[in-house]
Amino acid sequence: MRPAALLLCLVALAAAAQQHEPPNAVLLVAKPELVDPNFRETVVLVTQTADAHTVGVILNRPTERRMEGYPEPLYAGGPVMEGVIVALFEADEPPAASAFHVLERVYLSMHPDNLGALAARPAARMRLYAGFSGWSPGQLESELARNGWYVLPAREAVIFRKSTEGMWHELLEEARNRERKKPA
């Protein structure tokens, strides 16, 4: 699919993911056996639309790049459309334009109207990403069945943590501990 068509498709998907729907994000923690260079040693915040499209951003890949007027580094959000800026931000009210509702008061958006509003008045807690991670319907479920990921609950303390250094190792250990404690 051509980049412009893919972007329009994703903006439409985001519109379908109404802000009034309940948040539904999880964290994917790559297992050490996952050798795909796009996701090796990553922690990915993901959410799913009502029609089973999954989208997210890699939380632990800061880059050296900076956006003009934004003091934090730009993060590599994933291998899809790396030229598109995606914002993960906290807001007391749902944003005016379409956005994925990932946690209570936390949204993920690539919609230009939301990005413009955030540039004019940045959110108290916000992180910007170049590109995103995306899976077609059933693709992520297949990766989970092949045992490529651990799944943890998403939480603000993780997604907005100041330094992402060591994040993958810490969450890998947390996921392994949870797995060990599961009843047989």
pLDDT value of residue 68 = 85
- HSE of 119, CA atoms in CB hemisphere, 13 A: 13
pLDDT value of residue 19 = 43
pLDDT value of residue 20 = 57
CATH classification at residue 74:
3.40.1740.10
| Rounded Cα gap, residues 98 and 38, in angstroms | 27
Q: What is the pLDDT along the chain (184 residues), one digit of tens a residue?
A: 444 444 434 444 444 444 456 888 999 999 999 989 999 999 999 998 777 788 999 999 999 999 888 889 999 999 999 999 999 999 999 999 999 999 999 999 999 999 999 988 877 899 999 999 999 888 888 999 999 999 999 999 999 999 999 999 999 999 999 998 888 6
Please give the residue range of the domain that contains residue 37. Answer: 3-181
pLDDT value of residue 124 = 80
Q: How many structural domains does the chain have? A: 1
In this predicted model, what pLDDT tens digit does every residue of 148-178 receive, in sequence order?
999 999 999 999 999 999 999 999 999 999 9
Contact 109, 87 (CB under 8 A): yes
What is residue 51's three-state secondary structure? coil
Q: How far is CA 98 from CA 16, 33, 66, 101, 110, in A?
A: 8, 36, 25, 9, 9
